Amino acid sequence: MSQTRPAAVVILAAGEGTRMRSSTPKVLHSLAGRTLLGHVVHVARTLHPDQIVTVVGHGRDLVGEHLTEIDPDVITVVQEEQNGTGHAVRIALDALAGVEGTIVVLSGDSPLMTTQTLLALCQAHEGELNSATVLTATVQDPTGYGRVIRAVDGTVESIVEQSDADEGQLRVREVNSGMYAFTAGPLREALNQLTTDNSQGEEYLTDVVALMRSAALRVSAVSAAHPDEILGINDRAQLAHAGEVIRDRRNRELMLSGVTIKDPSTTWIDVNVDVAPEAVLLPDTQLLGATSVGAGAIVGPRVWLLDTEVGEDAHVRDATCELAVIGAQATVGPYTYLRPGTILDRGAKVGGFVEIKNSRVGEGSKVPHLSYVGDAQIGSDTNIGAATVFVNFDGENKHRTIIGDSVRIGSDTMLVAPVTIGDGAYTAAGSVITDDVPAGAMAVARARQRIINGWVQRKRPGSSSAQAAQRAEATGEDTGQTGSDISQS
């Protein structure tokens, strides 16, 4: 197959998109980690055109900024008034003066188009020496779309908009996708002849077809590989539907590449996420943004990862993680929250009801239960006891805690930062650590226990506790009643 490269791709994105009922321009709504327009620009780039021109209008500042961000080489032209798709393409061609060859037109609100189908479109266009080649699909319900009227020889005679169609034309189920390949010269000539003589009073790009036919030029059509590819997004229900289509595509691609996905219908993976073969994804899992998952990792059930790296053979379940790095063989969850700047080294373990932010947990170290770790560096082979809190905020500023290798932090320790715990040191359970602990030392920072014998029977007479104490006394159990009244241990 010869590789055809269009001279230019024109993307129409000036429309308002009222049916979204949104203050965000329609083409900036997001779908699987990219905007609608981002998907279209992306597929346009895969054709390697010399130029991409996007026609903007409604929300032009935001749309223009977004384009600069995702692809600064895209040329934007402004359509002040939305006088129709034909008018929009005419303005785009002003920015492409002197350009000859194939011009592909795409719609900024049709994000599901594939490279494969667009290459087939370009190939047919050039191979058949067409002046226009319309990308079509045959759909169950053609409502709202322009109908493709074919001549007996199979070429395309005209495209009739829904609002201008007669009864016979309305029954046609082959519809115009709004995407085309044109030859620059005949396109320019036809655009100059467009009128607004139709039910919507707009310059229809679709009228170019009949104009070319009457100039004895050839217009043909190519069908999309799958009707889903032509879906245009006009409202949020269609946006959700497109989300499902893209999810199914992406999951299928990954499964065929060697990723196990237990429940594809509840597994949502953004387009820029990498999942290595032999990874296992369990139900209710969302992998978003620039997330990556290494080989052999098990992710899920119920995991939400944004911009997070999961290493090989790591295990993450019931977790919410953002901008975190989970090392190889590390385990996370259930019920764990990893916030930006969390780095878990190889084999680290973070368990239930643990929140970590901006901290590094060294190789093989564990934060198994009920802890908050903030602004800390933890060495290797260290254990953080249950319910430890890294007290990093003094009400005004954040401070760091440094913990060495093979440290044992007792349960319910408060580490009041800034503070440093040396290698191999221990802290006693329940301690409030405000001063540095040298290597190998034990730090105890808590009140001593007091025993007040007989307190319950004196202060809570007749209570079930007092009765239990009474019975213990009767069976000769030591209640301390015979010793000193107050003893210390």
Which residues form the interface with ligand UD1 (CB under 6 A)?
A: 12-15, 55, 79, 82-85, 87-88, 107-109, 145-146, 159, 161, 175-178, 204-206, 232
Nearest-angstrom CA–CA distance, 174 and 240: 24
Cβ neighbourhood burial of 310 (10 Å; 0-12, 13-18, 19+): buried
Q: Please list, residue by residue across 325-357, b when 16 or more beta carbons sit within 10 angstroms of its beta carbon and e when fewer do.
A: bbbbbbbbbebbbbbebbbbbbbbbbbeebbbb
Residues in the chain: 489
Question: Could you tell which of ligand UD1, Ca ion, none binds residue 175, using a CB distance below 5 to 8 A set by kind?
Answer: ligand UD1
Nearest-angstrom CA–CA distance, 330 and 313: 8
Amino acid at 66: H
Part of the chain binding Ca ion (CB under 5 A), chosen from 72-80, 226-234, 367-375, 393-401: 226-234
Residues 6+ apart with CB under 8 A from 397: none
Question: Could you tell which of ligand UD1, Ca ion, none binds residue 176, using a CB distance below 5 to 8 A set by kind?
Answer: ligand UD1
Question: Could you tell which of ligand UD1, Ca ion, none binds residue 79, using a CB distance below 5 to 8 A set by kind?
Answer: ligand UD1
Contact 194, 212 (CB under 8 A): no
Best CA proximity match to 336, nearest among 326, 347, 346? 326
Question: Could you tell which of Ca ion, ligand UD1, none binds residue 83, using a CB distance below 5 to 8 A set by kind?
Answer: ligand UD1
Name which of 159 and 324 has its Cβ closer to ligand UD1. 159
Question: Could you tell which of ligand UD1, Ca ion, none binds residue 39, using a CB distance below 5 to 8 A set by kind?
Answer: none
Residue with tokens 């709004």: 178
Least Å distance between CB 198 and ligand UD1? 8
The pair of structure tokens assigned to 128 is 């058949």
Least Å distance between CB 17 and Ca ion? 9
Name which of 134 and 323 has its Cβ closer to Ca ion. 134
Name which of 178 and 351 has its Cβ closer to ligand UD1. 178
Nearest-angstrom CA–CA distance, 357 and 344: 11
Least Å distance between CB 199 and ligand UD1? 11
Least Å distance between CB 58 and ligand UD1? 8
Least Å distance between CB 400 and Ca ion? 54
Q: Is the peptide bond before 301 cis (omega within 30 degrees of 0)?
A: yes
Contact 301, 318 (CB under 8 A): yes
Name which of 19 and 460 has its Cβ closer to Ca ion. 19
Best CA proximity match to 151, nearest among 229, 231, 217? 217
Least Å distance between CB 145 and Ca ion? 9
Contact 211, 115 (CB under 8 A): no
Please give the full DSSP string across 388-404, using - where no structure is assigned.
Answer: -EEE-B-SS-B--EEE-
Least Å distance between CB 362 and Ca ion? 54
Binding-site member from 25, 84, 146, 232 for Ca ion (CB under 5 A): 232
Name which of 107 and 431 has its Cβ closer to ligand UD1. 107
Name which of 15 and 374 has its Cβ closer to Ca ion. 15
Residue nearest to Ca ion (CB): 232
Please give the full DSSP string across 468-486, using - where no structure is assigned.
Answer: HHHHHHHTT---STTS-SE
Query: Residues binding Ca ion: what is the number (CB under 5 A)?
Result: 1
Binding of Ca ion at residue 142 (CB under 5 A)? no
Nearest-angstrom CA–CA distance, 472 and 374: 46
Neighbours of 244 (CB within 10 A): 12
Question: Could you tell which of ligand UD1, Ca ion, none binds residue 146, using a CB distance below 5 to 8 A set by kind?
Answer: ligand UD1
Name which of 13 and 415 has its Cβ closer to ligand UD1. 13
Least Å distance between CB 116 and ligand UD1? 20
Q: HSE on the CB side for 369, CA within 13 Å?
A: 6
Stretch 156-195 residues interacting with Ca ion (CB under 5 A):
none
Catalytic (active site) residue 369: yes
Residues 6+ apart with CB under 8 A from 447: none
Part of the chain binding Ca ion (CB under 5 A), chosen from 168-176, 227-235, 338-346, 462-470: 227-235
**3-class DSSP state of 91:** helix
Name which of 82 and 411 has its Cβ closer to ligand UD1. 82
Residue nearest to ligand UD1 (CB): 146
> Active site residue: 42, 241, 369, 399, which one?
369
The pair of structure tokens assigned to 67 is 């384009």
DSSP state of 308: -
Positions annotated as catalytic residues are 369
Residues that bind Ca ion (CB under 5 A): 232
